[in-house]
Amino acid sequence: MSILVDQHTRLVVQGLTGREGGFHAGQMAAYGTKIVAGVTPGRGGELGLDGTVPVFDTVREAVEKTAANTSCIFVPAAGAADAIAEAAASGIKTIFCITEGIPVHDMVGALAVVQQHGARLIGPNCPGATTPGLNGLGAKIGIIPASIHLPGDVGVVSRSGTLTYEAVQSMTDAGIGQSTCLGIGGDPIIGTTFRDALELFAADPATRALVLIGEIGGSAEEEAAAWAGEHLKHLPRVAFIAGRAAPEGRRMGHAGAIVSGASGRAIDKIAALEAAGFKVAASPTELPRLLIEAGYTKR
């Protein structure tokens, strides 16, 4: 079992014919993801991914012809919000947006369309998700390196791409595998929150422990902690919060990683997580050890 991405995923890549979209689509396909279509306006009728994937002018046509159910967006920031809205309006139910730098005003409108059509958006400015598997039975969407993963039963959710990679590699090196690794994105407005992700993992019977990687800014970690304290008492859970030494009022890395007054401070996030039963690491490399201390046992 897993969340959001698996062998039933039928992926359309919006921006398949671009450099980034084409490169990462190749990596996704090599890992086992079923890429059934690409979309680039004006390039309909071509074949992408070394002649193996049909390209369409619109997402709606791609859905009608290939039964695509998931989208991954590699569209430049100026058009990415429209790409998100198009995917949702065309019947795609799970949308990953890798693009960063989308204006906040544009995202407000795009997210409203996503919600109107009952779709789920992951991102923007996210690395995607991976459900590890062996011998081509895994699936990944986005830009997370395939080589760091090990199939297992620990769910990982993070705001940061590079910190995710470090944490997952540390887990894999310790022989601790992942059920699904999910990056939700670091922008101020995103489609799927920490709490949303924890709810998905809680409903997955194959996920036996959780890793949460947060950072300064906003209150998403505290909101997730409050929910977890009530609903995840049965699962070992650990966390790491980046930005402990960040000066107040300065953005650190992500657009959403900014402390304003007493809001979004690392110390408050850590306190909320610990109160909810999370063991909080001082470094991502400590997460495997803390998982064991929290009661996780490797199978």
pLDDT tens by residue, 77-130: 999 999 999 999 999 999 999 999 999 999 999 999 999 999 999 999 999 999
pLDDT attached to residue 258? 47
pLDDT attached to residue 2? 85
Pair of tokens at residue 217: 């800014």
pLDDT tens by residue, 233-244 = 899 999 999 877
C-alpha–C-alpha distance, residues 243 and 75, integer Å: 29
Read off the pLDDT of each residue in 138-146 and give the average, rounded to a whole number.
95
| Residues facing 48 on adjacent strands | 53
Which is more confident, 106 or 161?
Answer: 106
Residue 260 has pLDDT above 70, yes or no: no
Residues of the chain with pLDDT > 70: what percent?
Answer: 92
C-alpha–C-alpha distance, residues 292 and 299, integer Å: 12
Q: Which CATH number fits domain 10-122: 1.10.15.40, 3.40.50.720, 3.90.105.10, 3.30.43.10?
A: 3.40.50.720
Positions marked catalytic: 254
pTM of the model: 0.93
Q: SS3 of 123, please?
A: coil
Q: Position 148: which residue type?
A: I
Q: For the chain, give every residue range classified as CATH 3.40.50.720.
A: 10-122
Residue 150 has pLDDT above 50, yes or no: yes
C-alpha–C-alpha distance, residues 49 and 16, integer Å: 8
Beta strand pairing call for 120-122 and 94-97: parallel
Which of 21-30, 43-52, 129-138, 143-152 comes out lowest in average pLDDT? Answer: 129-138
Q: Hey, how many other C-beta atoms are within 10 angstroms of the C-beta on 136?
A: 12
Q: Mean pLDDT in the chain?
A: 92
Domain covering 150-293, topology: Rossmann fold (3.40.50)
Q: Position 271: which residue type?
A: A
pLDDT attached to residue 237? 97
